Chains A and B, each alone.
Chain A
Amino acid sequence: MRAHDPASTTFTCWHCTAEVTGSLFCPGCKAIQAPVRDYYRFFGLERKLSLDTGDLQHRFYELSRQLHPDRFQRRSPQEQQCSLEASSVLNDGYRVLRNPIERAEYVLKQEGFDIGEQRGKDVPPELLEEVFELNMVLEEMRGGEESARPQLEQARTRFQDMRREIDDQLGELFRNYDESRDRAVLARIRGVLNRRRYIGNLLRDVEKELEPAASLPGRDG
């Protein structure tokens, strides 16, 4: 089966050789097509960081209905294969796009701001200092003593507040990027997402501390 060139929006229907423009079914013969791998294009959405998740869910249900492999059981192997692949892209894409953090990571990766390719030097020293200090405070509170509980609960509230602030900040940056398409905004989003991840880890550590359970060596980093 011919794979799509993700850069082009037009390709040829495998069945009737009509021109297909980024849709899942050929406009000529109605045959199912191999799916585009780009989640935004697959869902027929504009590439925006702020998404209406209700609309996304609606599209997901509609596409699930159209692409379900059961509907292609008595069709050709090629069509069955297309339906399987499309269903898989559908599910992966829905999982990524409905979550604002994963959605932003997806767009950042496409735009060359992949988290995995960063090195320590890309993280601002103030953030590292802050996270280090917060970790120190957290460690001091530990020790299994019940007396540390109120302090830990306070820390939890504090981290939750910080994460809420970060999420508000992200919402604003998302809107900003959607309007401006400015790469400098993406770089800022990268930074805020890094901070969110650190705060998320701290929060997870506090919560682990608050519910007594045997702990494994360190964190599963």
Chain B
Amino acid sequence: MAYSQKVLDHYYNPRNVGALDKGSPDVGTGMVGAPECGDVMKLQVQVNRETGVIEDAKFKTFGCGSAIASSSLATEWLKGKTVDEALAIKNTDIVTELSLPPVKIHCSVLAEDAIKAAIADYKRKHEARQDAQAVEAR
């Protein structure tokens, strides 16, 4: 399996590896997996609740080099984007950036799924909080 330079770069110097506080109301967590290859990917975003901008993003992936690189790249791209801009990231963007071969496209799909799952989790928390505030305000 020949990896592209960009994949190797992200593999050896992964950006934003780590974890954010899962319990924080401003953090969304996405955990996805691909059973056919046994990969597991956790991706987290920390969102500014006033502006809706993603201020921090972390990931931890157990999988092949392409899965690690895809999630590393995703966290780089997420920072500074609004939640809605983040949802526009497509797996094909990741494929192009990393020059992933066809057999590794599922790794980029996994990263896109992880972004969507993390943001869905954040939105769920955010809406629950707004509901709670609305109740309090009454």
Contact = CB atoms under 8 A, between A and B. Distances in A.
B38 A200 contact: yes
A221 B64 contact: yes
A170 to B, nearest CB: 15
A129 to B, nearest CB: 7
A19 to B, nearest CB: 42
A194 interface: yes
A16 interface: no
Contacts of B64: 217-221
Contact of B113 (A115, A119, A136): A119
A132 B1 CA distance: 25
Interface stretch (A53-61, A120-128, A151-159, A181-189): A120-128
B58 interface: no
B66 interface: yes
B113 A121 contact: yes
State the main secondary structure of chain B at its contact with A. Answer: mixed
Contacts of B33: 120, 123, 127-128, 131, 198
Contact of A221 (B8, B31, B42, B107): B107
A217 B107 CA distance: 15
B36 A219 contact: no
B73 interface: no
Interface residues of A, number: 29
Contacts of A132: 31, 40, 42, 60, 62
A116 B3 contact: no
Contacts of A197: 35-36, 38
B68 interface: yes
A218 B117 CA distance: 24
A135 interface: yes
Nearest to B38: A201
B56 interface: no
A198 B35 CA distance: 7
Contacts of A110: none
B109 interface: yes
A76 interface: no
A116 B31 CA distance: 19
15 contacts: A118-B36, A119-B109, A120-B110, A120-B113, A121-B117, A131-B38, A131-B62, A132-B31, A132-B40, A216-B1, A217-B3, A218-B64, A218-B68, A220-B1, A221-B64
Nearest 10 CB-CB pairings of A with B: A221-B64, A120-B32, A201-B38, A221-B37, A194-B35, A217-B65, A218-B65, A135-B62, A218-B64, A120-B113
Interface of A: 115-116, 118-121, 123, 125, 127-129, 131-132, 135-136, 139, 193-194, 197-198, 200-202, 216-221
